[in-house]
A = this chain, B = another copy of it.
Amino acid sequence: MVTISDIAKIAGVAKSTVSRYLNGGSISETTKKKIENVIAATGYSPNKFAQSLKAKRTNIIGTIVPRLDSFATSQTLIGIDDHLRELDCQMVISNSSQDLKREIENIYSLAKQKVAGIILLATEITTEHLEAFRTVQLPVMLVGQQHDQFHSVIHNDYDAAYELGKYILANGHRKIAYLGVTEKDVAVGIKRKEGFRKAVEEVPGSKVRYFETSFKIEHSIQKVPEILEEFNPTIIVCATDNIALGALKAAHMNRLRVPDDLSITGFGGYEITEITHPSITTAKFYYREAGNLAARNMVKLVNEEEINQITFSRYKILERESVDKLK
């Protein structure tokens, strides 16, 4: 284990000179070359614990995820990893297992690890979140939700839903069920619904009914027969692709042909929606790109550079097989 003392001795300089070399302090070209050569010859790399202990900072970015087994989370993490890896920053992932209490604990735990900043893949922001972030005093980057006290990278839920709504209406659908989620989740529960509502308000003669389910596929499978019985829409607009997968399964189970008897759309652009039969029309969010943007912005926040309060990642309406053209 080569230490800074070894490097200093071999190069014939003081430890503090090597440290200055490593950290951008003043150093002559001659001395710089000497140190460079010794480091290259020995393969030295600094002990991160010693650095962090004295300097009281790290190059660790903490990422808190609500769950490890979701498409959106995985892609976002890959995007974050892509960027942090280039910078020799370490990403530490803290899994909250969809437990808000645990998410708060994770915030404090990451602070204890002296992370340089926290990227939070958020579902909702409670007062406890606010308090924790106030206490730990770290740069915070939200992904997928916005809050006026933090910087965020968000998917354009509103515009995507508006555009998807226009597409659906342009295909002649006027009797529409919207299957949403809890409004505690502002992005998925409120913004997507509002964008969709804006689109239908622009077309007279549309009948829309709003329903609610959870994020779980099984609940969507159970909810759809109720909707069919109560309202009998030509299409179900689902707030997530998982809900859409559940709706597709329910349609098959009820002997409905998709899209002939019932059309279905989702949000997210999960890989599996292209594989199903029929493939599902959806508003695709570029989660990996969002993760990458979040990491870039995080690094800027850490370096105390100015960034936008809100950064949008892209979306794209993927027109596939699951929407019938009625007219």
Give A contacts to B, CB under 8 Å.
45, 47-50, 52-53, 68-69, 71, 74-75, 77-78, 81, 90, 92-93, 95, 97, 112-114, 217, 245-246, 248-249, 252-253, 271-272, 275-277
User: Other CB < 8 Å A-B pairs besides A69-B74, A69-B75, A69-B78, 17 of them?
Assistant: A49-B49, A68-B77, A68-B78, A69-B71, A74-B74, A77-B95, A78-B95, A90-B92, A93-B93, A217-B271, A245-B272, A245-B275, A248-B275, A249-B275, A252-B277, A272-B272, A277-B277
B95 touches A92 (CB 8 A): no
If over half of A's interface residues share one DSSP class (helix, strand or loop), that class is named, otherwise mixed; here it is: helix
Given contacts A78-B68, A93-B93, A277-B252, contact A45 B112 (CB under 8 A): yes
* 15 A–B contacts from the bound complex (CB under 8 Å): A48-B113, A49-B49, A68-B77, A68-B78, A68-B81, A69-B71, A81-B95, A93-B93, A217-B275, A245-B272, A246-B275, A249-B277, A252-B277, A272-B272, A276-B276
Give the chain B neighbours of A275 by CB distance below 8 A: 217, 245-246, 248-249
Q: Measured between C-beta atoms, what is the minimum distance from A295 to chain B in Å? A: 13
- Known: A52-B49, A277-B252. Contact between A74 and B78, CB under 8 A? no
Task: Tell me the complex Cα distance, A149–B59, Å.
Answer: 35
Cβ of A234 to closest chain B Cβ, rounded Å = 20
A274 CB to closest chain B CB (Å) equals: 9
Shortest Cβ-Cβ A-B pairs, 10 listed: A252-B277, A69-B74, A49-B53, A49-B49, A49-B52, A68-B74, A249-B275, A81-B95, A68-B77, A245-B275
Complex Cα distance, B47 from A75, in Å, reads 33
Q: Return the chain B residue nearest A245 by Cβ.
A: B275
Give the docked Cα–Cα distance between A252 and B252 (Å): 14
Chain B min CB distance to A43 (Å) = 10
Tell me the complex Cα distance, A14–B68, Å.
44
How many angstroms from the CA of A69 to the CA of B80 in the assembled complex? Answer: 13
A151 to chain B, nearest CB (A): 24
What is the minimal beta-carbon distance from A99 to any residue of chain B, in angstroms? 11
A117 nearest CB across to chain B (Å)? 17
CA distance A111 to B141 in the complex (A): 29
Q: How far is the CA of A119 from the CA of B49 in the complex (A)?
A: 22
Complex alpha-carbon distance, A69 and B287, angstroms: 12
Smallest Cβ distance from A139 to chain B, in angstroms?
Answer: 19
Q: A272 contacts which chain B residues (CB < 8 A)?
A: 245, 272
A74 to B92, CA, bound (A): 16
Tell me the smallest distance from the CB of A263 to a CB of chain B, in Å. 16
Which residues of B are found within 8 Å of A68, using beta-carbon distances? Answer: 74, 77-78, 81
**CB-based nearest B residue for A76:** B68
Query: Of residues A69, A77, A90, A245, which shows the largest number of chain B Cβ atoms within 10 Å of its Cβ?
Result: A69
Q: Chain B residues near A253 (CB, 8 Å)?
A: 277
Question: In chain B, what residue has the closest Cβ to A220?
Answer: B275
